[in-house]
Structure 1
Amino acid sequence: MSAEVAALRLQVARQVAHWQAAVTALADLENFASASAWANLEHQLGVAVRAHLRRSARRLHRAAGVLAAELAAAESPTELERVRRLVVRFRAMFLRVELAFDFYGDCVNSRTTPRLGALLRACDFLARSAMEQVLEPLGHPAPPVLTYVDKGLGASILRAGLRLWDRDSFSVAAAVKITRHNLSRPTAILHEAGHQAAFTLDWNGELADALRRELRPVAPGVADAWAGWASEIAGDAFAFAHAGYAAVAALHDVVAGEPDRVWMVPYGDPHPPAYLRVLLGAAMATRCYGSGPWNDLGQAWVAAHPVRTAPADVREFHVRSAALVPRIAEVCLYRPMRAFGDRPLVACVDPLRVRPDALACLARDAGTALFRSPYWVEREALRLLALSGYRAATEPARAAEITAQFEEWMIRLGGPVEAAA
């Protein structure tokens, strides 16, 4: 072997050895989240996530073995150069897989304490229960849910079944971000669960078509805009059906702090302008419940943001849209959809179960056991979320008491679990 070939082989061999070692380190999941954080996952969820990541690591390990075999067989400068190019391709593949490990590791590692672990397991349960109520009667299993805490104002979701960064695998769980400030009233997880359900049932496209048909005869430009926002409207309707006014008030409190987005949204953003989104939530409550605190919320919102202050180029659009919001609420909640077996959303999830007087009746009948009995906490978890959120929205003077009670029953709901091996 010439000195030139030996020198080239040494450089390539070092790179192959480096990436083989990197794959070995990647396969150790405690390099991404602590053992205690992994132990804070519910058993089925932990098994699913760990198995997914280990499959990805095994694919990388096999690819690294191919690299080593190619290097062992290479003799000429041309063959060694080919191996070097394969190393470059492998490095790109490794980095894509690593993104998934980092993402899931960050999600799991947010469960840093037993208390936070219990709260997030409860959030897992709530989001999955909301999906099960709609998906399972229609023959679709609800995916595992992995909730995690992060900074910011809004929640988000990495849907189960979505192709991941490595381009070869799919997300095995719906990973839902909960913002730290909203952990004491996490109705936003129901909105994100709605995204997963809408994706599974192909509801978004059907809702967009229904909005176009409903609105085009009276306002063609308005119809196309609302159809483009169908995916976010679906999420809002799903959350409202499960949590009632609690979801509307929580949404209001998030978007109320974004004055630059009251009237406008960035190009391509699927969210409606905040002005219209709040009015739609209030209209859903009015359609289902009649008069109530949502009317005060809507009136205060309009008073804080008079439409005359909207930019001139969108002012007329908001005037026309606001007049049509009750019809949009009707389509979202009461229009039969193929996605729901030719039934409306309210036939799958009855928002009357979280009407204020129904929640008051639940609290009266169950008494103190409602928040303390494992039977009630698990059986009525979604309605407890609606009740806690309603009280937080309408009794701000009792905020500390309501938050403490919320944490108490959430920690019971997400109590100790058998960790995944």
Structure 2
Amino acid sequence: MTTSPATAFLEHEARALLTRLDRVRPFVINETMVLAAAPLPAALSAVEPFLLNGRRVLRRNVEQFLEWLRGPGRDMPASEQQHRFTAIRIAFNDVLSQFDLFTEAITQRSEHQTGVWLSGLDMLATDALRLRQQLFDPPPLICYLARGPGAAIRRARTRLPGGASSPAALIRVPRERMIGHGIGSSLIHEVGHQGAALLSLVETLRPALLDAMRRAEGAQRHAWRSWAGWISEIAADLWSVAKLGVGSTLGLIGVVSLPRWFVFRPSGADPHPVPWIRVQVSAAIGAALYPDPQWTTVSKLWSALYPLERAPAAMRGELASLVAHIPEFVGTLLDHRSAALRGERLGNVLWMPGRQRSELLARYASWQRAPQELFAVPPALAFAVLGQARGEGLLSPEQESRLLGAQLTRWAVRGSLDTSVLCAQASRPVPVRAPALAN
């Protein structure tokens, strides 16, 4: 039977698609990163099988299409043949889009030194997602750099192109913040988005804030409505302050120190609070979690950098009203309880030991006498200590950059060595006791 031109064309297109699919190789045989720069084993073991399975399913679909095209589909109208092939081609591009999402993050691991630092940031992010109580199963986290001042996250278990659920979280951090305490503030804010999703914080906090709005009147009603609209970003800021202390708020100031029109601009439908208000809320959260006069100092610093009287006249009254309402809002936020929190106050769940100003400064003073102690604490605590010291003027930006660079490298090396040891132990043969000799 003569093959129609359309059938022959589509068969060639499908076979060409298979050849291109064969060129998509696993990361473990396609990247040149040193071992210390590799993503954590939990991340690679989640991502590689996920991508491999996507390619396997696509290959099977293409082969089934070719079988159909050479059999019952041969006599189908060309338009029907094209319709089926187009669906496969869309699925092919979805598979490539999923691959490219992770490629951008993993390929950077081949950059000299930067790759190792990214592995260290993976360790920081993983530590920052942990709570004192185990309330959820934490997903793998992978960090990468991008241009611009802001960070972002594609959370684990969210929809990827093609409808599949992401096996790991991808956290984009700004290259311009490498390396200083500000990178920790940006990174842990994004980790906070993942943590908030795992605890369903936005889904339970927003209805509570809207209930408060319905009971309120006048300016308070507007304030509750604003907090409800901004709660996704405020919850992530809460997570960051709880983990880093004042270093989080100082890092936030670094991010939103922009032209005055931006700092005071109305947010509209943007889930980010008005930047001027956002810093004030961050400082108020810190004062509630870890009470100390320093938070008032930070708030005054921000007000000196951006005096409220320099805001547009139409915004001044609204901003003043929101500032006056911050204490009541922060109290409601930290008192929040839900099933995911197992009935605990949110403030108690996120509160971390050792983040009080006096404790952080005491630890920094101890490190001055015994520098090796710096490398023995969890990553988020190390960033909190150095952020506090930087805020106090005890640590210069140059010293901070050197210390954090060394710290990220040590975490990456330690992580790779720990993995090697575990692999060696798992592969070590079990000794077999020789039978006793008979007398």
Q: Same fold (TM over 0.5)?
A: yes
What is aligned with 1:98? 96
Q: CA deviation at 1:20?
A: 1.5
SS at match of 2:110: coil
Deviations 1:160-206 (A, max 9, x none): 11121111x21111111111122322222211111111111111122
* 8 Å Cα contact 1:127/1:189 also seen in 2: yes
Describe the shift of the 1:161–1:265 C-alpha distance in structure 2 as closer, same or farther (beyond 3 A). Answer: farther
Matching of residue 34 in structure 1 with residue 26 in structure 2: no
Aligned pair partner of 1:158 in 154, 158, 162 = 154
* 8 Å Cα contact 1:33/1:105 also seen in 2: no
Q: CA deviation at 1:337?
A: 4.2
Describe the shift of the 1:12–1:288 C-alpha distance in structure 2 as closer, same or farther (beyond 3 A). Answer: closer
What are structure 2's unaligned runs of at least 5 residues? 424-439
Which segment is superposed worse, 268-277 or 406-415?
Answer: 406-415
What is aligned with 1:176? 171
Mapping 1:232-311, distance limit 5 Å: 232-265=233-266, 267-311=268-312
Describe the shift of the 1:289–1:36 C-alpha distance in structure 2 as closer, same or farther (beyond 3 A). Answer: closer
What is aligned with 1:113? 111
Report the TM-score when normalising by structure 1. Answer: 0.89
What are structure 1's unaligned runs of at least 5 residues? none
Q: CA deviation at 1:232?
A: 0.6
Larger Rg: 2
* 8 Å Cα contact 2:361/2:388 also seen in 1: no
> Match of 1:170, as an amino acid?
S
2-structure distance, mates of 1:147, 1:329 = 30
SS at match of 1:165: coil
Q: CA deviation at 1:368?
A: 5.0
> Match of 1:177, as an amino acid?
R
% identical aligned pairs: 22
* 8 Å Cα contact 2:245/2:384 also seen in 1: yes
Q: CA deviation at 1:264?
A: 2.6
Describe the shift of the 1:92–1:366 C-alpha distance in structure 2 as closer, same or farther (beyond 3 A). Answer: same
Deviations 1:26-48 (A, max 9, x none): 3x135996242786222222121
What is aligned with 2:324? 323
Structure number with greater CO (CA < 8 Å, separation at least 6) is 1
* 8 Å Cα contact 1:232/1:270 also seen in 2: yes
What is aligned with 1:217? 216
What is aligned with 2:134? 137
Which segment is superposed worse, 185-194 or 304-313?
Answer: 304-313
2-structure distance, mates of 1:298, 1:401 = 26
Deviations 1:79-137 (A, max 9, x none): 54422221111111111221111110001112223522332222212222222215x52
Report the TM-score when normalising by structure 2. Answer: 0.85
Describe the shift of the 1:151–1:378 C-alpha distance in structure 2 as closer, same or farther (beyond 3 A). Answer: farther
* 8 Å Cα contact 2:139/2:167 also seen in 1: yes
Mapping 1:349-368, distance limit 5 Å: 349-351=350-352, 353-365=354-366
Aligned pair partner of 2:189 in 165, 169, 191 = 191
2-structure distance, mates of 1:379, 1:164 = 36
Q: CA deviation at 1:248?
A: 0.3
Deviations 1:329-386 (A, max 9, x none): 22233444443222223322325621221112223445554x535xx63543221110
Deviations 1:284-322 (A, max 9, x none): 233344444432332232233333443344332211101
Q: CA deviation at 1:326?
A: 1.9
2-structure distance, mates of 1:147, 1:290 = 32
1-structure distance, mates of 2:193, 2:146 = 19
SS at match of 1:178: strand
2-structure distance, mates of 1:339, 1:112 = 39
* 8 Å Cα contact 1:392/1:398 also seen in 2: yes
* 8 Å Cα contact 1:178/1:189 also seen in 2: yes
Describe the shift of the 1:259–1:111 C-alpha distance in structure 2 as closer, same or farther (beyond 3 A). Answer: farther
SS at match of 1:268: coil
2-structure distance, mates of 1:75, 1:287 = 69
Describe the shift of the 1:53–1:76 C-alpha distance in structure 2 as closer, same or farther (beyond 3 A). Answer: closer
What is aligned with 2:426? none
Q: CA deviation at 1:147?
A: 0.9
2-structure distance, mates of 1:171, 1:300 = 41
Describe the shift of the 1:271–1:405 C-alpha distance in structure 2 as closer, same or farther (beyond 3 A). Answer: same
Which segment is superposed worse, 241-250 or 318-327?
Answer: 318-327
Q: CA deviation at 1:281?
A: 1.2
2-structure distance, mates of 1:202, 1:303 = 36
Mapping 1:387-402, distance limit 5 Å: 387-395=385-393, 398-402=396-400
What is aligned with 2:47? 49
SS at match of 1:175: strand
After superposition, the CA RMSD in angstroms is: 2.7
Q: CA deviation at 1:74?
A: 4.5
2-structure distance, mates of 1:307, 1:217 = 26
2-structure distance, mates of 1:107, 1:363 = 33
Describe the shift of the 1:200–1:280 C-alpha distance in structure 2 as closer, same or farther (beyond 3 A). Answer: same
2-structure distance, mates of 1:75, 1:231 = 51
> Match of 1:173, as an amino acid?
A
SS at match of 2:145: strand
